[in-house]
Amino acid sequence: MHFLITGGAGFIGSHVGERLLNAGHRVTALDDLNPFYDPAVKHTNLAVLRQVGGERFEFVRGDITDRALLDSVCGAGQFDQVIHLAARAGVRPSLLEPALYQHVNVEGTVNVLEAARATGCRKFTLASSSSVYGLNARVPFSEADPIFSAISPYAASKLACEALGHVYHHLYGLDIAMLRFFTVYGPRQRPDLAIFKFATLIEAGRPIPVFGDGSARRDYTFVEDIVDGVVACTERALGYEVFNLGESQTVRLDELIALLESSLGKPALIDRQPLQPGDVPVTYADISKARRLLGYDPKTKIADGIPKFVAWFREARSLKQGARSAERGA
């Protein structure tokens, strides 16, 4: 099969692309390499995909808000499936630029759906987020729960994307899976995410900002488990379905910090900060539907996943420092 992965140079996208290439598929990754974080990180991810895929991998630099580009890419590629992961991410940044989040996430998703539909692609897997649950009083979060309490522009944009997916299924009969990711971590993690930021600051002996008293709980999910769920969706006819993809186990923020301290072999210096607008006290996935319909079975517990992340984190830092030293000596 030939897959288009939007956001294919990013954290989750590069892992999904690598899995599909290793399975013998063709992959086209579309990414705008924007400076939300250092584009060099994405170039490193692309190097992995080129090495794995060879001629079966293609990279296109482009923005999902550019409809003409998407029409051209989809027309030339004749894709069997689209995995739509491109988005402006993060709750807190969305508070600063709500219009940008709506433009990229909502209008961009319409563009991807339209361009692919017009060229005959009938199957989509789209990224949503656990943030759509907002201030949900029921735990664990079920796909059947009401989702009308979003508390950030990012969450609102993902709610809109889910609605658009249903529209395209209803009107055009497209096969669409909407995936609500729960706090994904692991190798290649984005540097703006908490685990990466904490590890960087702990290594440097600098204080880490902790918002609240450390009791906030998250359903941390290892990236390879997330990829299992994404790929399972590509292998099944689903109609229109929404799935939680999480570990289905919550970890307190202070417990996460303790795991990082243990894996890094260094103590964390804590800088207490007030709770931030848009943050929720807990995320917790009910994954019974994904287990039943996808065979989804997350295997990596946080106690095993954090050491895997730290091993990659230190290797990546060592390679980066080595490259800088070589440049200075040249």
Position of tokens 């709980």? 217
**Among residues 256, 273, 269, 260, which one has the least CA distance to residue 311?**
260
At 277, the amino acid letter reads P
Measured from the Cβ of residue 98, the count of other Cβ atoms closer than 10 Å reads 15
Yes or no: say if 149 and 203 are a contact pair by the CB < 8 Å rule: no
DSSP character string of 126-162: EEEEGGGG-S--SSSB-TTS------SHHHHHHHHHH
Q: 101, 133, 154, 284: which is the annotated catalytic residue?
A: 154
CA distances from 239 to 39, 78, 117, 173, 198 (A): 36, 21, 15, 8, 40
Distance CA 25, CA 14 (A): 14
* Ranges of H-type helices in the chain: 11-22, 39-53, 67-77, 91-96, 98-101, 108-118, 153-172, 194-204, 223-234, 253-264, 288-294, 302-329
Q: Burial level of 307, CB count in 10 A (0-12/13-18/19+)?
A: middle
154 is catalytic: yes
Yes or no: say if 33 and 9 are a contact pair by the CB < 8 Å rule: yes
Distance CA 154, CA 157 (A): 5
Which residues carry out catalysis? Answer: 154
